[in-house]
Amino acid sequence: MEVPRSLLFLPASNARAIEKARTLGCDLAVLDLEDAVAPEMKAEARAAAAAAVKAGGFRGAVAVRVNALGTEWGEADLAALEGLPVDWIVAPKVEEPGLIDAYDARMDEGVRLCAMIETPLALMHMNAIAGAGGPLRALMLGVNDLAASLGTGPSKDREPLKPWLAATVVAARAHGLAAIDGVFNGLSDPEGLAAECAQGRLYGFDGKSLIHPNQIEAAHAAFSPTPDEIAEAQAIVDAFAAPEADGLGVIRVAGAMVERLHLLRAEALLARAR
């Protein structure tokens, strides 16, 4: 599975934004039917998203964030996407594992599901949600809704959310899912964006959700392997492939002791770099 480094959200009701998204280098363009669309515009946005997915032309993959099942729009959103070449469905406010089965029953085979973790109840059930199987391929931490529902105060380094950043990555890794970091709200703070992307990478996230095209480059810089990381990984792979390493669980590479768990990580990094 190709894991997106950049997931750019754009209102499905905005035709100009959709057209611009076709020219952008984001890994995943997310046509939003939920938070970015007013209630009176839901039907129009749904039709626009279906038409955009059908027309294609995006440089990367395409996703639709539907309204949650249980709202008055969720069922119709999923029905409108049946048979269309959508790569991902992003499901907001997933709070219990049974919802994964509900989405599975309404999605075409082969479409991937990303579950958004945005509420205290979702945090309590996150391991069960992550283990629900079916089309689920990623967890995304919805930091804005989560902070609001928890009542946390503002913090540049996301201090109040750090336990849940780590918990999201743990749940994702335990069940073989991608972990997607939440959005950065500052549109004219490149230093803050770079710092938060680096923090997400440090915590183990695979990519970041974005709200503006000017955030794509920072996400790709943070969540792509660096030349030094690639060189180090290749050295580990080469060292374990040497005849003298045959049957050994631990070898010395560039002055450090390296185990086979490091080999697996190196192989994964090289695959991601390719």
pLDDT digits (tens, 9 = 90+) for 174-201: 999 999 999 999 999 999 999 999 999 9
Looking at the structure of the chain, the number of domains it has is 2
pLDDT digits (tens, 9 = 90+) for 220-257: 999 998 888 888 888 888 888 889 888 888 888 888 88
- Residue 135 inside a domain? The answer is yes
Nearest by Cα to 207 from 225, 221, 192, 219: 219
- Residue 138 inside a domain? The answer is yes
For residues 229, 161, 137, 88, the Cα torsion angle rounded to the nearest 10 degrees is -100
CATH of the domain at 215: 3.20.20.60
Statement: residue 1 has pLDDT above 60: no
- Mean per-residue pLDDT, 197-209: 97
- Mean per-residue pLDDT, 69-84: 97
- Mean per-residue pLDDT, 65-82: 97
| pLDDT score, position 262 | 86
Percent share of the chain, pLDDT over 90:
78
The domain boundary, picked from 185, 206, 223, lies at: 223
Are 122 and 129 contacting, i.e. CB atoms less than 8 angstroms apart?
Answer: yes
Write down the mean pLDDT value for the chain: 94
Where is pLDDT greater, at 61 or 254?
A: 61
First to last CA, the chain: 13
Residues 15 and 139 both lie in one domain: yes
- Residue 142 inside a domain? The answer is yes
Nearest by Cα to 140 from 213, 208, 214: 208
- Residue 192 inside a domain? The answer is yes
| pLDDT score, position 256 | 86
Residues 113 and 170 both lie in one domain: yes
Measured between alpha carbons, how far is 234 from 35 in angstroms, rounded to an integer? 43
Residues 37 and 126 both lie in one domain: yes
pLDDT digits (tens, 9 = 90+) for 81-129: 999 999 999 999 999 999 999 999 999 999 999 999 999 999 999 999 9
Residues 92 and 179 both lie in one domain: yes
- Residue 128 inside a domain? The answer is yes
Residues 171 and 210 both lie in one domain: yes
| pLDDT score, position 188 | 92
Residues 90 and 154 both lie in one domain: yes
Write the CB contacts of 260 (distance below 8 Å, at least 6 apart in sequence). 240, 249, 250
Confidence bin at 130 (pLDDT 50/70/90): very high
- Residue 82 inside a domain? The answer is yes
Are 251 and 245 contacting, i.e. CB atoms less than 8 angstroms apart?
Answer: yes
Residues 131 and 250 both lie in one domain: no
- Mean per-residue pLDDT, 55-80: 96
Residues 115 and 231 both lie in one domain: no
Statement: residue 170 has pLDDT above 80: yes
Residues 177 and 206 both lie in one domain: yes
Residues 152 and 245 both lie in one domain: no
- Residue 1 inside a domain? The answer is no
| pLDDT score, position 232 | 86
| pLDDT score, position 98 | 97
Tokens of 266: 């190196």
- Residue 175 inside a domain? The answer is yes
Q: What is the pTM of this model?
A: 0.89
Residues 206 and 262 both lie in one domain: no
Residues 162 and 134 both lie in one domain: yes
Confidence bin at 77 (pLDDT 50/70/90): very high
Domain that residue 237 falls in: 227-273
